[in-house]
Amino acid sequence: CDVPRWEGYFDMSDLSITTHPYGNWAANPSYFERIGYRKDNNNNTSNTTLTSALFFNSCGDDELTAQTVCSGNGKCVAWNPDDISAVFFCQCDRGFAGVECNHKRPSQSIAWLWSLFLGYLGADEIYLGWYYAAAAKLFLTILGGAIALVFESPFGLLVIVCPWVIDVVRIGSGPVFCKVDGRVEDDLPRWAFAICTIVAFAMIGFAWVTISLYYRVTWRRHSEDRANCSNSTVGAYHIHRKINWDIAEENWGTTSLRRW
């Protein structure tokens, strides 16, 4: 194929291109080096100058006991029990996660309660570590409240309620992801979630209807009272005019008789 020539067009004699033997991705510590277990520094892998043996987890350290392995929050289990040279990994206890079981999982029950009571303010997302999502929900709540107050439109309530209800159902239906420690701890029974959610929203709906009816009836009564007061004022005004007219006629008649 024809290759374009650059001789005579550009001066490439002083061109210097810096090169390096390894890519930037290869210069960074690998995943195994970052999370691997070193027994001489208590699993602190921040010091990359150590030359000791690096294990996948603490199950490879024969100096640990069954109570201290896996950060004391799990046990070593073979990946394939039928394999003689099987690789062991840490099976974490309930509520813990991570290669060394050193991360405490957030609770699904607590996340669901935050979502139910203060979810429209983003409290559930803050608990799970999703701060941008929490800011977005707070913004939608402020926006919906402004629309409902300024324009008196039910669309503002939909802007507030829809993300709130979606997150209540999403968090309560199953263990969702949090930002740091994977999924939350699955400690919310399905029957408890279903019953509590139905009862909670039924109570919220009943309270909303009761408050709406109260203010509606109060507003109608005030409107009727204002109308009755206005009619009474008009009637009293006409009666007062009639009395004044009768008095004027009587005075006029008396004056005429005197003149006669």
Residue 93 shares a structural domain with residue 154: no
**In this structure, are residues 183 and 175 in contact, taking their beta carbons and an 8 Å threshold?**
yes
Domain boundary among 159, 188, 217: 188
Q: Specify the pLDDT at position 259.
A: 42
Residue 168 shares a structural domain with residue 121: yes
**In this structure, are residues 186 and 108 in contact, taking their beta carbons and an 8 Å threshold?**
yes
Residue 88 shares a structural domain with residue 154: no
Across the chain, the runs of DSSP E, i.e. the strands, are 74-78, 88-92, 96-97, 103-104
The CB density around residue 176, as the number of other CB atoms within 10 Å, is 19
Which positions ≥6 away from 140 have C-beta within 8 Å? Answer: 159, 160, 163
**In this structure, are residues 64 and 40 in contact, taking their beta carbons and an 8 Å threshold?**
no
Q: Tell whether 8 is covered by a domain.
A: no
Each of the 260 residues of the chain gets a pLDDT tens digit; together they read 555 666 666 666 666 777 777 777 777 777 777 777 877 655 444 444 445 677 888 887 888 888 888 888 898 888 887 777 778 888 888 888 888 888 888 999 999 999 999 998 999 999 999 999 999 999 999 999 899 888 877 888 889 889 999 999 999 998 999 887 788 988 899 999 999 999 998 998 898 889 888 888 888 887 777 777 665 555 555 555 555 555 555 555 544 434 44
Phi first, then psi: give them for residue 75, nearest 5 degrees: -145, 160
Count of domains for the chain: 3
Dihedral sign, CA of 244, 246, 250, 255?
Answer: positive
Q: Specify the pLDDT at position 167.
A: 93
* DSSP structure class, residue 103: E
Q: Tell whether 232 is covered by a domain.
A: no
Residue 59 shares a structural domain with residue 79: yes
Domain boundary among 63, 86, 104: 104
Q: Tell whether 120 is covered by a domain.
A: yes
Q: Specify the pLDDT at position 231.
A: 58
Q: Specify the pLDDT at position 198.
A: 92
Residue 121 shares a structural domain with residue 155: yes
Q: Specify the pLDDT at position 140.
A: 93
Residue 148 shares a structural domain with residue 216: no
Residue 64 shares a structural domain with residue 84: yes
Nearest alpha carbon to residue 45 among 53, 55, 36: 36
Residue 158 shares a structural domain with residue 171: yes
Residue 144 shares a structural domain with residue 216: no
**In this structure, are residues 58 and 70 in contact, taking their beta carbons and an 8 Å threshold?**
yes
Q: Tell whether 38 is covered by a domain.
A: no
Residue 80 shares a structural domain with residue 119: no
d(CA 60, CA 78): 12
Q: Tell whether 115 is covered by a domain.
A: yes
Buried b (16+ CB within 10 A) or exposed e, 69-94: bbbbbbebeeeeeeeeeeebbbebee
d(CA 29, CA 38): 15
Which residues lie across from 88 on neighbouring strands?
A: 78
Global pTM exceeds 0.75: no
Amino acid letter for position 70: C
- Domain enclosing residue 63, as ranges: 53-104
Q: Tell whether 231 is covered by a domain.
A: no
Domain boundary among 130, 159, 188: 188
Residue 100 shares a structural domain with residue 167: no
Nearest alpha carbon to residue 60 among 38, 92, 81: 38
If residue 44 lies in a helix (H) or strand (E), which one and from where to where? none
Phi first, then psi: give them for residue 174, nearest 5 degrees: -170, 170
Q: Specify the pLDDT at position 171.
A: 93
Q: Specify the pLDDT at position 239.
A: 54
Placement of tokens 């701890």 in the chain: 185
CATH number, domain containing residue 98: 2.10.25.10
Q: Tell whether 79 is covered by a domain.
A: yes
Residue 99 shares a structural domain with residue 114: no
